[in-house]
Structure 1
Amino acid sequence: MWRRSLRAARRCLGCRSPGPQGMCSSHAVRTCSAPALPAGRITALQAVELWRRHFEERGVTEPHLSSQYIVAHLLRAKTIQSLDQERLTEFLSREETEQVWKLCTRRLSRMPVQYVIEEWDFRELTLKMRPPVFIPRPETEELVELVLADLQRKSGAADAQHTCLEVGCGSGAISLSLLKSLPQLKAVALDQSQAAVDLTTENALRLRLQDRLQIHHVDVMTDPEAVLSLCGPVSLLVSNPPYLFSEDMASLEPEVSRFEDHAALDGGEDGLNVIKHILTLAPQILSDHGRVYMEVDPRHPPLIRRWVEVNVEELQYVETRLDITGRPRFCILQKATAETGPQAGSGLRN
């Protein structure tokens, strides 16, 4: 559970209160005041406690979990709790101690743990992570589970052929998780960031899912024609787009503002810049009855519904789903046909 807690701590798209800005420059990790390497030998548990105290003194969020997770990773474990007591109480080698100091000093600069250890779990997958590619949050796991549940409710969905388009793939978390769960699925993933495209490609290869995934470097905002040329009719369009209101960017925690790609966060004045482009293109990309599944700011669902009713008559707003904390987080829309008509739905469901 502590790993889930740490993952939630990296979530800054729903909680925008300014955090402590820390003591270190965003570009100079080595200038951070790290404790000196111990003269003698120390155990893993002693290293965890020493760094917990130092993180706490320097205002690093979740200091205990941060130190636990870094030391566990160094010892090739997912969690401290999964290591036996003998391993935790034996002395670290000099090389191991130096590596702990190196990684923890990065965390001291407010670098997210996911970047420090260069990997993170998303549902059943372990994905490589590196800055500035957007780190997937727990809400996005819920988005994937929502899509899977909807597909499974359809008759024969387990064996049906589906094609998915993901706009803004980041590390590839959504597409790769869907591909892992649905052996018949094929996917196309797009991102405006070459770093994201490269990381998604790397993760697909590591997970041996590359044969069912096409990955393209294209910006839905500036090159919609390229998007249309790359994507034939798809059964579903899934996106966790940039949706922060621009005014909220100034209050992000240092972990986010210093290290993650601002283009993957800032959705413009009302947070809808990219969302509107996606929804405008959706009817031209979706097959009949194809659906859009989108993670958004809790303030967005009524705004999106009204905007679609006025501007995209080929889309029907189906419903809003709540996230695990009870906030309206997910929008579901469907390509309207002569049978369904353009009238929006009004459902709000958990």
Structure 2
Amino acid sequence: MPVQYILGEWDFQGLTLKMVPPVFIPRPETEELVEWVLEEVSQRACADPLVLEVGCGSGAISLSLLSQLPQSRVIAVEKEEAAIHLTRENAQRLQLQDRLQIIPLDVTTEECWMQLLPWGPLDLVVSNPPYVFREDMEHLAPEIRSYEDPVALDGGEEGMDVIAHILTLASRLLKDSGSIFLEVDPRHPELVHSWLQSTPDLSLDLIAVRKDFCGRPRFLHIQRSCPVDTWPGPQTVAVHG
């Protein structure tokens, strides 16, 4: 059994979160994703962003953002009941529940975006989605396969199943120049870039890729295109060390 489940809690971005199986355990890489989001928010001088997290799990990302952006609001969507209960409990433990709206929702269903329209438009969409390639699932560590929810890991044949739905959803809900931040498999930057080029109607551009502490391309920054009359020019994919 993973030590996080044995202890019943784990630290993430300075917060002590309750952990219970089979809810996905947040990894150190995801702390880097949160740090990147915070960097971008500070550069935009946007103190009160409205954020959507897709697949909140234990609430690690949502609660970290709420704790460090005291005027922000977060909408967290999640389809697994155990994760919804755990996020709600962690929010109450940290007294952050007043700025968090948890919505039971499966983003792979048709017209799911319509349930979120009343909450938009959004400044940011953040997610550590299921992105493991189907063929890699059987090679995961035994403690992961035995205890953690496979739904939080399995991203389909190329790990893109949920990612594609998140991008489609975000394109309908983001403000102009709103951003999507994703944690992905190192093989995904090229796959996502190609997928976005094949779906220009979404008006989304991959503008930056960042490596994790092991030097693997792990995080994506995707932005909703500006209207034509304010279009700043061609955008390129930047790789940060």
Shorter-chain TM-score tier: over 0.9
User: Which residue does 1:116 correspond to in 2?
Assistant: 6
Equivalent residues in 2 for 1:242-261, closer than 5 Å: 242-261=130-149
1:323 aligns with 2:224: no
Contact residue 315 and residue 342 of structure 1 kept, 8 A: no
Equivalent residues in 2 for 1:285-304, closer than 5 Å: 285-304=173-192
Helix, strand or coil at the partner of 1:250? helix
Measured against aligned partners, the alpha-carbon deviations of 1:275-318 in whole angstroms (never above 9, x if no partner) come to 00000111111112110000000000011011011114411111
With structure 1 as the length reference, what TM-score do the two structures score?
Answer: 0.66
Contact residue 78 and residue 104 of structure 2 kept, 8 A: yes
Partner Cα distance (1:123, 1:266) in 2 = 25
Shift of 1:349: 1.1
Structure 1: 5+ residue stretches without partners: 1-110
Shift of 1:344: 5.0
Measured against aligned partners, the alpha-carbon deviations of 1:62-118 in whole angstroms (never above 9, x if no partner) come to xxxxxxxxxxxxxxxxxxxxxxxxxxxxxxxxxxxxxxxxxxxxxxxxx10001111
Partner Cα distance (2:15, 2:191) in 1 = 34
Partner Cα distance (1:262, 1:347) in 2 = 32
Partner Cα distance (2:113, 2:31) in 1 = 30
Taking a change above 3 Å as real, the CA distance of residues 204 and 217 of structure 1, as seen in their structure-2 partners, is same
Equivalent residues in 2 for 1:166-315, closer than 5 Å: 166-223=53-110, 224-229=112-117, 231-313=119-201, 314-315=203-204
The amino acid of 2:216's aligned partner reads: R
1:332 aligns with 2:225: no
Contact residue 242 and residue 266 of structure 1 kept, 8 A: yes
Equivalent residues in 2 for 1:132-151, closer than 5 Å: 132-151=22-41
Taking a change above 3 Å as real, the CA distance of residues 342 and 206 of structure 1, as seen in their structure-2 partners, is farther
The amino acid of 2:208's aligned partner reads: E
Taking a change above 3 Å as real, the CA distance of residues 327 and 202 of structure 1, as seen in their structure-2 partners, is same
Helix, strand or coil at the partner of 2:31? helix
Shift of 1:225: 3.8
Structure 1 segments of 4 or more deviating over 2 A? 225-231, 339-345
Q: Calculate percent identity across the aligned residue pairs.
A: 53
Partner Cα distance (2:80, 2:232) in 1 = 36
Helix, strand or coil at the partner of 2:185? coil
Partner Cα distance (2:115, 2:233) in 1 = 24
Taking a change above 3 Å as real, the CA distance of residues 271 and 247 of structure 1, as seen in their structure-2 partners, is same
Which structure would you say has the larger Rg?
Answer: 1
